[in-house]
Amino acid sequence: MVTGAAGGLGSCIVRKFCEAGATVFALDCNKNGLLELQKELPELKIVVADLTKWNELRKIVEGLCPLDHLVNNAGVSCISTALTVTEEEFDRFNFF
């Protein structure tokens, strides 16, 4: 399973695992990005999920087990400064 699989580094990792013949579960909250990747890699198993929703994610992962490998690639960023960060950004991105 590769998290953050819909773009950037995650999609490159997915491609390499698929090239090696692995069964890959590509997990991301970006459904359109996953569908585009699946057009390129029809054998790809896509999973639309938000990693911040722990209980939902737990059910999804339990349904995919056993997993041999996990590439925990998902990430978010915040470009606010200490003086401009909002309360929501602070809570979501663990700003400090």
| pLDDT tens by residue, 2-45 | 999 998 999 999 999 999 999 999 999 999 999 999 999 999 99
- pLDDT of 91 > 90? The answer is no
The Cα 57–Cα 24 span in angstroms is 17
**Global pTM value:** 0.79
Domain that holds residue 29: 2-93
CATH number at residue 43: 3.40.50.720
Using CA atoms, how far residue 25 sits from 17, 48, 54, 77, 95, in Å, is 10, 10, 18, 24, 30
Domain count, the chain: 1
